[in-house]
Amino acid sequence: MERICIYPKDIQVVTGKSERYGRNIIYQIKKKYAKESHQLVTLEEFCTFTGLCLLSVKKALL
């Protein structure tokens, strides 16, 4: 079963930046999509926000 949500550590793996950067990206995505703090960010939302290809991100997270 594939995961559909993304976490700061995953963003760190994909981008090569710090985990803090990943937390900031998650915060910005939640703000853009008007999500509450307890709601999760999906891979699709992350890819739409960053402009990255969904398949490339999924492959990087394997």
pLDDT digits (tens, 9 = 90+) for 5-62: 999 999 999 999 999 999 999 999 999 999 999 999 999 999 999 999 999 999 999 8
Domain that holds residue 28: 8-60
Distances (CA, A) of 6 to 47, 62: 10, 13
18 within a domain of the structure (yes/no): yes
- For residue 12, the number of C-alpha atoms closer than 13 Å in the C-beta half-sphere is 8
Predicted model pTM: 0.90
Count: domains in the chain: 1
- At residue 1, does pLDDT exceed 80? no
